[in-house]
Structure 1
Amino acid sequence: MNFVFFIIFALMNGVFYQQEYERFEKPFDTSFIQVGEELVYEVKYLFFKLGQVKFKVIDKFTNNGKQFYKVRVDIDSYSVPFVDIHAKFEAVFDSRFIAHSYWSEQREKKYYQSVKYKLIENLPGYVVEKNYHNLEYNTRGNKIDTVKITTLYCDGPSLFYYARSNAYIKKTVLLPTFIEGVKGITLINFGKKKTRVKIDAFDSPIETYEIDGKANYIGFFGLTGNFTGWISSDKMAIPLKGKLKLFIGNIIVELKSWKKGQNLINLK
């Protein structure tokens, strides 16, 4: 992505006068990222409950003086007529939220796909491997590419935690985002306002920071376009609710349960 693209993208969104280009040059506050934390969300479309998304921090380690985090994301649809999706992700990122390695696996009734990539810092770039198996036509494919980069990138999982770390800061940023092995840009407006949000998991409304933005790529399950999110204003910065656009239309993602370490937090 060259600098001209960033200017055009910012002008199109009317935020050129205030946007920042995130270079991931310094560590962020990651004190809220705790091994064992588990966030479970329910996905809703209109009056239908489609499935669940679970984020879990499974490891924290130091390598060459840098702090790293390993997270796992599981997506499972319920038994509904028009959706049958089961996917797993594992990602490793550092305290700057730079994507270092990633693995995903997607299974449907007639299709399987896996994506792996790893940051090679002396290239600099990512080595990306994609595999698929179309069960309906019994076709298979394997492809390995090297994607060179001129800046640093976050990815889908690390973007989730980046948003938590920055929710309280009033700024607009353009985030270089590496999605399933493809370069993209995520624009996010942070710290727009404080507001109270009511979700089913809590008896009372919770004070949150509202964020919004736009993804200029087509991500997993057709994620693209505008989104809005609400993140708790306390030190744990828990994403409580989000409005996203997927291939089926606009959906709501809402927190269902939160486990801190080995303890399930009673949200009621």
Structure 2
Amino acid sequence: MKVMSKDGTVRVKVKSQRQGYYFTLPIVVMLASLIIYPMIYGFYISFFNTNLVTKWNFVGLKYYTAAFQEAAFYQSVLLTAWFMVLVVGGHFLLGFILASMLNKEFKGRTVFRVIFMLPWFFPEAVVALLFTWIMNPMYGILNSVLKGAGLISTNVSWLGSKELAFPAVVFVCIWKGFPLVMTMILAGLQSISKDYYEAAEIDGASKWAQFKYITIPALKPILTTVLILDSVWWFKQYTLVYTMTAGGPGTATNLISLSIYGTAFNDLRFGKASAWGILVFFICYLISLVSKAVTRDDE
């Protein structure tokens, strides 16, 4: 509405700030119903020994204290942490190499950018089923190629072996997730002015010195964000691993997310599973704090 100011001029004022709240209300309700409420409800049932139907026995903090005394919890968390380190490390190594290559001028660069982004476009379930077929010990194409090249003499059970299942799953997860890291690093590299590198070359700085004192400091904000997002995402990874191995053979790929799923829907111990889920939430939060501390800017 229009209102008259003290000096007699007319100025336009927004009718009501409530309109902004009306526009944001649907997304707030959606977030509350899909994220906030399930988290609160999960925290609530973690205090009960329940099947969610007929049994609601209050146990307090029993499942939280028991988790720190249960070897299966520690083993699953440590396996998941090792899995996260390998996958995220592979993403950054491969992402840096490909981003540096794609940052250079050459013919067909756009085509290669699209090709390298393809793994990220496929749903995780599709990728898992694809590589399950590729690594099949009887008719998988991987064994056929390796036998044709003379590298193996008999078929290998890539996902059925305790020694090979975990590396195989890590490889697939690296292949699936590296495009995101590559794209973010490439965007950061393109934002760095070439004048810095030209000045460094004039001063006689080596390629390593340019990378250490120009590239890394300029990419720190992007690297921090990507490191946190990638670490948390793959620490709670479920779909790829479950579809490929279901946590087997034995407990070779039994990540904490699969342990929680099995506890809830196989053992019907929803309270215990909820308590483990809350602990994983705090572990992910701790990962973000550690990542920020490690990659923080020097004063």
Q: TM-score, normalised by structure 2?
A: 0.20
Q: TM-score, normalised by structure 1?
A: 0.21
Larger radius of gyration: 2
- Structure with the larger strand share: 1
